[in-house]
Chain A
Amino acid sequence: MTIDSIINGIVLDHIQVGKSMEIYRVLELSKLDCSVAIIKNVSSKKAGQKDIIKIDSLIDINLDVLGYIDPGITVNIVKNGEIVEKRKLSLPDMVTGVIKCKNPRCITSVEQELPHVFRLTDREKGVYRCIYCEAKAKGEA
């Protein structure tokens, strides 16, 4: 299978297998006009298998959101056909509007306009808690 290389754009590499569709959805890549390739189950020396997303444009990507979904991703910035920058991700200290608080007793359950903000409370275990009610984040973004 061949996919054209990118001249100016972004390659999200080392995505955990199966996470690419979630990233596509959360980063709202469907709204882009440029070419976007989702490549699943690529062989990888490091992880056995991985997913890759190629975006044929230099868009602004919310690295916090990406780091929250999968801190193992490498973000490659490609300019004139060359990788000019490799960014490693880590779990962000705070994420806004990515995780939804599901605690019915939380103030966010009655005030619809409040942003849902989660803070990283345990980096080792990757635990995020709602800043308002301290409920633990569960499941995917």
Chain B
Amino acid sequence: MKDLISITDLSIEELQELIDTAEDIIANPEKYGDKCKRKKLATLFFEPSTRTRLSFEAAMLELGGAVIGFSEASSSSASKGESVADTALTISCYADIIAMRHPKEGAPLVAAKAAGIPVINAGDGGHNHPTQTLTDLLTIYREKGRLNNLKIGFCGDLKFGRTVHSLISAMSRYEGNSFVLISPEELKIPGYIKKDVLIKNEISFVETDNWENLPELDILYMTRVQRERFFNEADYLRLRDVFILTMDKLANAKDDLCIMHPLPRVNEIERAVDSDKRACYFKQVLNGKFIRMALILRLLGIE
């Protein structure tokens, strides 16, 4: 594997290797402090995404490497009309590995084909964001000790949320997982995910617009309802407020429920939930850094 463009580039075995490396990094951070000495990560962010970029940069710095790059297209040569392939070729002369975020779908693949160095897709429009899915998988593994035989609830915007679609696809590859899809009618999961992923692989799932299945869940993945997806403010405000997770609702949930969220959140998880032991979304952020460290090592071929 030279690059990571889509989560489906990784086999189940490769995913497990990355998770194992991340676990080892968490257990023995001192072993990894110099692994990327004199290596440079270029973060090429053609659209801003502070948390993803900082996660990559923190990952590289903790491996003893250095970081170069830009955080928006206006400060890159793309603003002068340079192609993605030319930018990637140029950066290949300076850096050892690239993490790229781009508003257009497929741009990181174009970069990967041109660059002589590994390219990580750090999000291409609404298309792929494989390191978020890796983050989610590591979090589930660390919290539950397994990636199979879990009942996973997704709540909120299941129509546009690409993190939801990728995680459903990724978790569908493991045996015995089932899904509860909680959303208002307008934000239900797209037909192609149902048909091509769930029905095709005979995976059990329920679609609902209420919380009655919450007591059965092992994982609850909350998502943000994004303002920019709506044509009018009234619809946004109405739907945004429909599915809010509160301490009251959690009264019926399992004691070892793992509550996740890709962040940032708006109001879909009440602040009081943050101090509940079942809230895992800030641990998830930290896991994001560890799995990116594991990924950088893997793509650079460093043991």
Question: Residue on B with the closest CB to A135?
Answer: B105
- Beta-carbon contacts under 8 Å, A82-141 to B: 103, 105-111, 113-114, 130-134
Interface-forming stretch among B55-63, B106-114, B217-225, B246-254? B106-114
CB-defined contacts of A106 to chain B, threshold 8 Å: 104-106
Choice from A109, A114, A134 contacting B127 with Cβ under 8 Å: A134
Residue with the greatest number of chain B CB neighbours at <10 A, chosen from A106, A111, A132:
A132
CB-defined contacts of A130 to chain B, threshold 8 Å: 106
Question: Residue on A with the closest CB to B111?
Answer: A107
CB-defined contacts of A109 to chain B, threshold 8 Å: 104
Q: Cβ of A105 and Cβ of B109 under 8 Å apart?
A: no
Q: Count A-B contacts at CB 8 Å.
A: 42
A interface residues, tally (CB under 8 Å) = 15
CB-defined contacts of B83 to chain A, threshold 8 Å: 111, 113
With contact pairs A110-B104, A113-B83 given, residues A105 and B125 touching in the complex (Cβ less than 8 Å): yes
Q: Cβ of B126 and Cβ of A105 under 8 Å apart?
A: yes
Separation of A18 and B125 alpha carbons in the complex (Å): 39
B interface residues, tally (CB under 8 Å) = 14
- Beta-carbon contacts under 8 Å, B62-103 to A: 83-85, 102
Q: Cβ of A131 and Cβ of B106 under 8 Å apart?
A: yes
CB-defined contacts of B107 to chain A, threshold 8 Å: 107, 132
Q: Cβ of B127 and Cβ of A111 under 8 Å apart?
A: no
Separation of A114 and B124 alpha carbons in the complex (Å): 17
- Beta-carbon contacts under 8 Å, A53-80 to B: none
CB-defined contacts of B85 to chain A, threshold 8 Å: 111, 114
Choice from A103, A105, A111, A134 contacting B110 with Cβ under 8 Å: A111
CB-defined contacts of B104 to chain A, threshold 8 Å: 105-107, 109-110
Question: Residue on A with the closest CB to B110?
Answer: A107
CB-defined contacts of B126 to chain A, threshold 8 Å: 105
Q: Cβ of A105 and Cβ of B84 under 8 Å apart?
A: no
Question: Residue on B with the closest CB to A131?
Answer: B109
Q: Cβ of B105 and Cβ of A103 under 8 Å apart?
A: yes
Separation of A105 and B83 alpha carbons in the complex (Å): 16
Question: Residue on A with the closest CB to B106?
Answer: A132
- Beta-carbon contacts under 8 Å, B111-159 to A: 124-127
Residue with the greatest number of chain B CB neighbours at <10 A, chosen from A107, A111, A131, A134:
A107
CB pairs A–B below 8 angstroms (12 shown): A105-B127, A107-B102, A107-B105, A107-B110, A108-B106, A111-B84, A130-B106, A131-B106, A131-B109, A132-B110, A133-B105, A134-B105
Residues of A within 8 A of B (CB): 103, 105-111, 113-114, 130-134
With A105-B105, A106-B105 already in contact, 16 other A-B pairs whose C-beta atoms are closer than 8 Å: A103-B105, A105-B125, A105-B126, A106-B106, A107-B105, A107-B107, A107-B110, A108-B106, A109-B104, A113-B83, A114-B85, A131-B106, A131-B109, A132-B106, A132-B110, A133-B105
